[in-house]
Structure 1
Amino acid sequence: MNKIAIIGCGGSGKSTLARQVATILDLPVTHLDSLYYDDQWNPLPQKEFAARQEKLVVHDRWIIEGNYASTLPIRLRAADTVVFLDLPAITCLWGIAQRRWRYRGGQHADVGVYDRITWSFVRYIAGYRRTMRPRVRQLLAEHAPHAHLVTLTSRRQAKGFLARIGTGR
């Protein structure tokens, strides 16, 4: 596992898992929210965002976490491992509530969090498995058939995954 894409619904724990895996495997981590937004929460133009990812994936070792389905094929084509956090909506909603409590909103580049909760974001999370999961699975099939896919459907499975890679099993 040298090139790892971590994807999943908002609040699923992508940033946390990325930091933990990075520590265990000594890999550099890029949080796409930190790349996409500036200090005033302004997004990059789409072409520039894609170009920055193209530059990242040519490196020999990395973790890139974040969804951004429009640029997901860039990461999937280059990844040797994809970790898909496919957690229930209630777990993800609880995750964003905990994040809000911890960080009090805003962008936190040091931890890869762009914490801006809106009703459209809540609706996105609530409908992720119905609307986005099929699209993600299609993108995985098209752009990452070569990659090892790890699908985690609970926080307990995520902890088990960390334990396995920590012991080399």
Structure 2
Amino acid sequence: MTLDDLGPRVVLMGPSNAGKSTLARAIGRARKMPVVHLDLLHHRPGTDWVPRAPDAFVRLHDAAIQQDRWVMEGNYTRLLPQRLARASGLILLDVSTRVSLSRYVWRCWFESDRAGALEGGRDSVKWSMLHHIAVATRASRRRYRALPAGLDIPCIALPSPDAIAEFYRREGLVR
């Protein structure tokens, strides 16, 4: 299956620091699709990742999914049913917990300009995020792997950094 098989509204999901934002930006650039970073809708700009009011996030999310074309990255599974109802395809990324943790620390310490960064904010290593990556993400990974079985849209699973890199090469995407 190729990226073209996924249609004009692509959902990109996976654990924190799997590369969702970077891949979404590459797909958006290559396919001339608007990129929606759910973290940016969920959090207030100019803050240290302070969430918006839940109803404000829902309004922004639901307005974004009504567009004709998009690549949307992020999980926020509470809103996943309406997102998948509008989606024409799904990409599932996975990387190990070790890779997620090392990428998280790296981006906080060394990346000042990254895809999906909060405008006016700065990433910093937080205990809550380390815990989320190391503990909570395990159950999410299992749910994400089972997700395609119940869907009527095409899905591409990229279960490792090597598979993700191969997808970039095969699709002619540039990071």
Shared topology, TM-score over 0.5? yes
1:69 aligns with 2:77: yes
State TM-score, norm by structure 1: 0.83
Give the whole-Å Cα distance in 2 for the aligned partners of 1:44 and 1:80.
Answer: 28
Unaligned runs of 5+ in 1: none
Deviation, 1:102, is 2.6
Q: 1:138 to 1:44 in 2, by over 3 A?
A: farther
**Equivalent residue letter for 1:15:** S
Post-superposition offset of 1:116: 4.1
TM-score (norm 2): 0.80
2:57 corresponds in structure 1 to 49
Contact 1:69 1:136 in 2 (8 A): no
Counterpart-to-counterpart distance in 1, 2:129 and 2:58: 22
1:98 and 1:123 mapped to 2: Cα distance? 16
Q: Higher mean Cα deviation, 24-33 or 111-120? A: 111-120
Partner of 2:3: none
RMSD over aligned CA atoms reads 2.2
* Match 1:111 to one of 111, 115, 130: 115
The match for 2:14 among 8, 11, 15 is 8
Q: 1:139 to 1:46 in 2, by over 3 A?
A: farther
Superposition pairs for residues 1-169 of structure 1, below 5 Å? 1-38=7-44, 39-40=46-47, 41-103=49-111, 111-114=115-118, 115-128=123-136, 130-137=138-145, 140-142=148-150, 145-166=151-172
Q: Which has the higher strand share?
A: 1
| Alpha-carbon offset, residue 20 of structure 1 | 1.0
